[in-house]
Amino acid sequence: MSPKNVAIPEGEGLSGTVRIGSARSVARRIEPGEIAVIEAPDLDRETAELLAARRPTAVLNAADSASGRIPNLGPGVLLGEGIVLVDSMGTEVLALREGQQVELRDGVVVAAGAEIAEGRVVTGEHLEHAATRAREGARFQLDGVAAATAELLVREQDLLLDGMGLPDLAALFADRPSLVIAQRASTAATLQEIRPWIRDARPVVVAVETAADTAREAGIQPDVILGPLEDVSEDALTSGAHLVLHAAGRAAGGGRTSELGIEQLRVDSALPSRAVALLLAGHHGASVVVAAGMDEGPEESLDGGREPAAASSLVRHVLGARLVAARSIPALVRPRIRTWQLLLLALAALLALGIALLTTQVGQAALGVG
C-alpha cells in the first residue's frame, strides 16, 4: 500500500511545542501533539515507529528523509499514521530551543513571528519516486553490503568469531536460554505473545538500551542492559541489572551511571548494539538466543544502511541454528502444563464425582445414604 499524502491545514497551519535532539531521544520525551525536530538522513523504519507511537503532530527533519540512496521505510510509517513530515530543512531548524512554541505553515517553521527554516512537505508521490530510485540502485546496495560485510569481518573478527572484547558474563549465560530484546514499536506486543515461554524457560534477559524500560513495563526484569545508556530510565539503571556500555560512535551515557554510583562494564565495537547483545549471549554459551524486536525482511535488512545489514548477516551466521525469532516461539513451543493446573483439574473431577454420587440413586446406595 502506498503511503498516503498528509496535508497541512490551510490558514495558520500546525502549531506545537518543539522537542529536539536525536530521533531516539526525542521519541522518549515527546508528548502527543508536540513537534519533533531531528536530523536523520534516510529515516529508518524502527526509528519512525518509535516516533509514530508517541503521536507527534509533525516531524521536522534537518536531513533528507528519503534520498533514494537506500530503500528506507521510515517516512512511509509516519505518513501512514497521518503524521506530517517536513524534511531537508537544513541546520537552521536545529537552532530551535527545546520547549519552544512554533508554527508550521506549508513547510515553513515560524517562531516568535520570524521564519526560522523551510523544507519540503513529504508526500506519497515523493516516496514512490525515492523508492523507484532505490530499486534501480539495489544492485549497488547489495554490492555495498557485501563490501561492508568483508570490512566488518576483518575489523571485528576477534569479537565476531571468538567473542574477544566482550565482558565476562559466562557464568550468567552458560547452558541457559537467552532473550535479547531490542526496541521497536512492536516489541511490547511480541513480549506479550511469548510470555508463557518466558515464564517456563526463565531466560537470561538482555535489553538493548531503551528496550530495558519496555521490558520492565511488561513485567520482565532485564539481567543485562547493553548499549548507549543516556536514554535509559534511572529506575532501569538502578534495577540491579549488569550494565554494559556500548556506543558505536554515539553518546554513551557513562556520565549518568557514574553520577548514580553504578558500576558498568564496557565493550568497544563498531557493530550495532543489538548485534553485540546477540554475540554476548551466543559466545557465553546460551543454549538458544531468542531475538525480540528484530524481525527483518529483505527490505528491512537494508533499511538501516549497509553496515547494520552486514552486521546482522554476520551475527546470524555466527549464531546459526541457536538464533530464533521471538515471533516464532508460539508456533514452536507448547505451553507446559503446570502442577497447580493438574491439581485443579483433579479437584474438579473429584467434585464432579461427589456431586454425581450424592444426586443419583446408584451413588446414594453405594454411599449407604438416602
pLDDT at 364: 60
Instruction: Identify whether residues 105 and 233 lie together within a single domain.
Output: no
Instruction: Identify whether residues 172 and 104 lie together within a single domain.
Output: no
7 falls within a domain: no
Instruction: Identify whether residues 50 and 101 lie together within a single domain.
Output: yes
Instruction: Identify whether residues 218 and 105 lie together within a single domain.
Output: no
Percent of the chain residues topping a pLDDT of 70: 83
Express each pLDDT in 228-264 by its tens digit. 888 899 999 999 999 999 976 555 556 677 777 788 8
77 falls within a domain: yes
144 falls within a domain: no
Statement: the pTM of the whole predicted model exceeds 0.85: no
Express each pLDDT in 152-211 by its tens digit. 989 999 999 999 999 999 999 999 999 999 998 889 999 999 999 999 999 999 999 999
Express each pLDDT in 122-142 by its tens digit. 999 999 988 888 777 666 677
Name the average pLDDT for the chain: 86
Number of domains within the chain: 3
Instruction: Identify whether residues 81 and 175 lie together within a single domain.
Output: no
What mean pLDDT comes out for the span 112-117?
93
2 falls within a domain: no
Instruction: Identify whether residues 252 and 117 lie together within a single domain.
Output: no
Give dist(CA 93, CA 112) in Å, integer: 14
4 falls within a domain: no
Higher pLDDT, 143 or 368: 143
Beta carbons within 8 Å of 166's beta carbon, 6+ residues apart: 159, 267, 276, 279, 280, 283, 284
What mean pLDDT comes out for the span 297-312?
74
Percent of the chain residues topping a pLDDT of 90: 58
Higher pLDDT, 151 or 296: 151
pLDDT at 354: 67
The residue from 82, 117, 133 where one domain ends is 133
Instruction: Identify whether residues 53 and 173 lie together within a single domain.
Output: no
Q: Please, which pLDDT band fits residue 90 given cuts at 50, 70 and 90?
A: very high
Instruction: Identify whether residues 314 and 353 lie together within a single domain.
Output: no
pLDDT at 1: 43
- Residue 68, domain CATH: 3.50.30.10
Give dist(CA 155, CA 271) in Å, integer: 10
269 falls within a domain: yes
Instruction: Identify whether residues 350 and 306 lie together within a single domain.
Output: no
Instruction: Identify whether residues 307 and 235 lie together within a single domain.
Output: yes
Domain extent for 28: 14-133
152 falls within a domain: no
Is the alpha carbon torsion for 45, 47, 53, 54 positive or negative?
negative
Q: Please, which pLDDT band fits residue 39 given cuts at 50, 70 and 90?
A: very high
pLDDT at 25: 85
Do 74 and 52 touch, CB atoms closer than 8 A? no
pLDDT at 10: 47
pLDDT at 248: 65
pLDDT at 294: 86
The residue from 133, 167, 191 where one domain ends is 133
What mean pLDDT comes out for the span 346-369?
67
Higher pLDDT, 245 or 302: 245
150 falls within a domain: no
Q: Please, which pLDDT band fits residue 11 given cuts at 50, 70 and 90?
A: very low
pLDDT at 302: 67
Higher pLDDT, 262 or 302: 262
Lowest mean pLDDT among 9-23, 59-73, 117-131: 9-23
Instruction: Identify whether residues 301 and 192 lie together within a single domain.
Output: yes
Residue 99 has pLDDT above 50, yes or no: yes
**Phi and psi at residue 226, to the nearest 5°:** -125, 140
Instruction: Identify whether residues 162 and 217 lie together within a single domain.
Output: yes
